[in-house]
Amino acid sequence: MNRPFSFQAERISRLFHSFNVAAAAMLGLVILLVVYISIRYRRRGNDSGEGAQVTGNNLLEALMIGLPAILLAGFFFASLAAQRAIAPPIGPDLKPDVIITGHQWWWEADYPQAKVITANEVHLPVGRRLLMEMRSADVIHDWWVPELGNKTDLVPGTSNYLWLTINKPGLYIGACSEFCGAQHAWMRIKVVGENEKAFNGWLAANARTALPPADSLAVRGAALFQAKTCASCHRIGGTPAVAKVGPDLTHVGSRNYLLTGMLSTSEANLMAWISHPQQIKPGAWMPDFILSRDSVKAIAHYLESLK
């Protein structure tokens, strides 16, 4: 089982363990009683016929009804307390620290205060209580990073909210947990929990506009990116490409993986993806463009340089 690495996951884990302990104690009691009763009241040599029949025993009935009622009430109030601690009410003037939007089949992460938009690798600061707003661009998705606690559905047309206080820096892996189409299984989540300093560094680096192309091949790639239809769907900050249909590519070269973890970021993998997206991720919104190998290489080279 995954260990909890957030305040919320710890509360859920504690609640779950207390349920387990109570259930185990109940099971132990029942087993003990069964064993005791079968030995104590077994048929002996000179026994004949039925044993003594008991009816209308108030004490037994009170125990039989009262004990489960007390246990269930305990479970109920413990759940309520955990729920209140994990998901306190959201006031009308509360602003989300990060907005996660589920798309078929990738995650958009938007940091509204810093005006940073990125995809799939969600960097979050450790030790701070974060309010995450969860939205969907198309169908219902579900955000679940088990080590960080509770799941949240991302529903089209409305916002759900998730409180998250990560306890320890690390890489936390999750997955979309609501069937959302052909590539649902590849809708992985990566949360990079970082201390405040590292997070702020990452945020500042990602708030900058894209690096200008550094060599002639990248210059050609950048021109092709704007001229071919790439710019109709993707944004690259500081260039004319401002569309938000596909992932923001302003700093795509700085991310470790492409396609929610399917491929590591490299020029070769970007080339493979741009050449044959429908072979790599069938059903994805990225169409197969019939581009020459040289053009694909130039675009991949440019994108890879966007650190």
Which positions touch ligand CUA (CB under 6 A)? 102, 105, 141, 176, 178-180, 184, 187
What DSSP element (H or E) covers 154? Answer: strand 152-154
Compute the distance between CA of residue 151 and CA of residue 145 in angstroms, rounded to an integer: 7
Cβ 17 to ligand CUA shortest distance, Å: 29
Choose between 133 and 194: whose C-beta lies nearer to ligand CUA. 133
Choose between 7 and 105: whose C-beta lies nearer to ligand CUA. 105
Cβ 181 to ligand CUA shortest distance, Å: 7
The secondary structure of 202-214 as a DSSP string is HHHHHHSPPPPP-
Cβ 123 to ligand CUA shortest distance, Å: 20
Cβ 153 to ligand CUA shortest distance, Å: 10
Compute the distance between CA of residue 35 and CA of residue 191 in angstroms, rounded to an integer: 50
Instruction: Assess whether the previous peptide bond of 105 is cis (omega < 30° from 0).
Output: yes
Choose between 176 and 296: whose C-beta lies nearer to ligand CUA. 176
Choose between 184 and 251: whose C-beta lies nearer to ligand CUA. 184
The secondary structure of 71-93 as a DSSP string is HHHHHHHHHHHHHHHHSPPPPTT
Q: Which amino acid is at 78?
A: A
Cβ 139 to ligand CUA shortest distance, Å: 7
Residue 130 · residue 164 · CB < 8 Å: yes
Compute the distance between CA of residue 193 and CA of residue 212 in angstroms, rounded to an integer: 29
Choose between 176 and 218: whose C-beta lies nearer to ligand CUA. 176
